[in-house]
Amino acid sequence: MLALLCVSLFLVACASDASLSTEEQIRDMYAKVTEIWQEVTGGRAADDGQDPTLHAMCQVQPSASLDAEQPQVTGFVLFRQLAPGARLEAFFNLEGFPPEPNGTKRAIHVHQFGDLSQGCGSTGPHYNPLGVQHPQHPGDFGNFAVRDGSLWKYRSGLVASLSGPHSIVGRAVVVHEGEDDLGRGGNLASLENGNAGRRLACCVVGLCGPEPWARLVQERRKRRRDSECKTA
């Protein structure tokens, strides 16, 4: 089975369409790899009549290697994927950023290892299964605006996956001190990690049931209603 997967991956690499942009080619390759994985493993839960939706949770903690005077960022990231191969959705809910001008941006990425033994420093580089440049790694979630020391954001259309050969389950989500230059920094580090600076906080992605996501959707509706009432 492994040999078949390797041959298939090789064929995918050879079959990339030259008319597509690099970003489109990489997205295309992620999609094809997932498709091949599903064929090889028979991993189409929908075919068995099961709900194919996957959920995962990551409880963010300050990096154990940070000095005590550094910001103590805590919170969680929740993920939902409606089916293997579908784009990922995520809620980011973090607090503990220092008071600074609203709109300050912080980078968030998926790093290779779910190893927090040396704080966020032991999570390794960006998760990069296809050996491409930043910001085209599957967990390059980009920049997030911080308001009043917290960050509350829903994002959809993320390339990362909770299943298949490029699953981010068991890997780390890392919250950085700085802004991601999205590969435009003009140096090598920019193409590896976006020069996003110190690792403030991190967590390991683990699969969970649908309840946390459902609770968050309810809370989001309530927040919307509350803000509508305030502006009415």
Q: Which of 137, 171, 176, 199 binds Zn ion (CB under 5 A)?
A: 137
Closest separation between CB of residue 133 and Zn ion, Å? 8
Look at the block and give the residue holding tokens 């390991």.
204
CA end-to-end distance (rounded Å), the chain: 60
Q: Which amino acid is at 197?
A: G
Catalytic residue among 80, 106, 126, 171: 126
Residues in contact with Zn ion, counted by CB under 5 A, come to a total of 4
Q: Is 215 an active-site residue?
A: no
Rounded Cα gap, residues 216 and 153, in angstroms: 11
| Residues recorded for the chain | 232
Catalytic residue among 80, 106, 171, 199: 199
Q: Which of 140, 177, 180, 181 binds Zn ion (CB under 5 A)?
A: 140
Specify the pairing of strand 88-95 against strand 199-204. Answer: unpaired
From 73, 86, 221, select the one nearest 160 (Cα to Cα): 86
* Residues in region 20-59 near Zn ion by CB under 5 A: none
Give, to the nearest 10 degrees, the angle between helix 2-14 and helix 22-41: 160
Q: Which of 88, 168, 172, 174 binds Cu ion (CB under 5 A)?
A: 174
Residues in contact with Zn ion, shown as a per-residue x/- string from 117 to 136 under the rule CB under 5 A: ---------x-------x--
Closest separation between CB of residue 87 and Zn ion, Å? 17
Q: Is 55 an active-site residue?
A: no
Minimum CB distance to Cu ion smaller for 32 or for 166: 166
The sign one gets for the Cα dihedral 163, 154, 141, 31 is positive
Look at the block and give the residue holding tokens 């220092």.
98
Minimum CB distance to Cu ion smaller for 36 or for 120: 120
180 counts as binding Zn ion under rule CB under 5 A: no
Catalytic residue among 80, 106, 111, 171: 111
Taking a C-beta distance cutoff of 8 angstroms, is the pair 17, 28 a contact? yes
Q: Is 140 an active-site residue?
A: yes
Rounded Cα gap, residues 191 and 194, in angstroms: 6
Q: Is 176 an active-site residue?
A: yes
Span interacting with Cu ion, options 49-57, 60-68, 101-109, 154-162, rule CB under 5 A: 101-109
109 counts as binding Cu ion under rule CB under 5 A: yes
Distance of CA 77 to the CA centre of its chain: 9
Binding site for Zn ion (CB under 5 A): 126, 134, 137, 140
What are the catalytic residues?
A: 109, 111, 126, 134, 137, 140, 176, 199
